[in-house]
Structure 1
Amino acid sequence: MSAVGAAAGLQQFLVLRYNELKRRLVLRLGSDEVASDALQETWLRLSTRRVADTVVDPWHYLFRMALNASVDLRRSAGRQLSVREVDDLLEVADSAPGPAESAGAQAELEALARVMRELPERRRNILLAVRVEQLTQPEVARRMGISLRLVELELQKAQAYCAARLGR
């Protein structure tokens, strides 16, 4: 995947997981406004900067990027960070989820699987190829022998359906 494709994929991931990222940022930064500004800055940075071709963990990559953006935004506003704020930002998040997070993630995964089974087969296959196999849309079009436009439309419909059924 090209750096442009990686950035677009991360932007799409940010949109899909915006509420969860923002909630965690609010907890970490202590401010809804700062969290929102950091996520907006993250979006802009993804639009204007080169991103690594492969990102192993998009959630943690975007979370760290937003934390860094919050530091930069505070610096540019002329506000000095407290020692505690610096320590909090430098603290490496424990990547191992706790029991509650694991149970919540399992429930979300089961709900997503249930919703995806409701999709028409072609739409589901396109969604899986793009999201799970991380194929580009042109690659999916070639693989399935359909037009790129049809892949785009089916992917949009699949994502919209899943988001609507999952309440996002």
Structure 2
Amino acid sequence: MTTSRNGLVSLLISAYPEFRRRLAGRLGSADLANEALQDTYIRLSRAENLGEIRNPRSYILVTALNIAKNNTRPEARHLSSAEIDPLIDIPDETPDALRTLEARSELAAVERALRELAPRRRAMFLRFWVEGSGYKDLAIEFNVSERTVRHELLLANRYVHAATANFCVAELQKRLAQVSSL
């Protein structure tokens, strides 16, 4: 059976309520069914050569289902409202003025500790931790053994840790006092 474009469009218009009911049942939404049928109407109106169509009703229904499926794919990439709600409650972790001031104070404590290190130990520490140099590179640069480099870095780490520990403990105690007073 050959069906013309105009014949399919006429069938879609005359049997629209039936198509909408069937699509709504399959898609789970009357709105999706209406949208798919409107897109089907546009597609059929623009069609050039449809060829032989044996069952025009099935053709229209399958076309509408395919259109609905294609329309919902991009929607599936978006978050649902149930997925968005927990994200809204995520606290803003960008540093405020107080946190920025605290970070600068902590950095100043580390810088003071580094200035108190012996020059070679400080240079090794900075090259290792800031620039990412390895033990072997440091040993060659400072003309010492790798064991000496490890020992110098160990002593530097211990000193910086000890020099900043009091500061960090005082900060922690301050924060705990704020929390316990709430």
TM-score band by shorter chain is 0.3 to 0.5
The normalised TM-score by structure 2 is 0.40
Of the two structures, which has the highest relative contact order with CA contacts closer than 8 Å and spacing of 6 or more?
1
The normalised TM-score by structure 1 is 0.44
For the pair shown, the structure with the greater C-alpha radius of gyration is 2
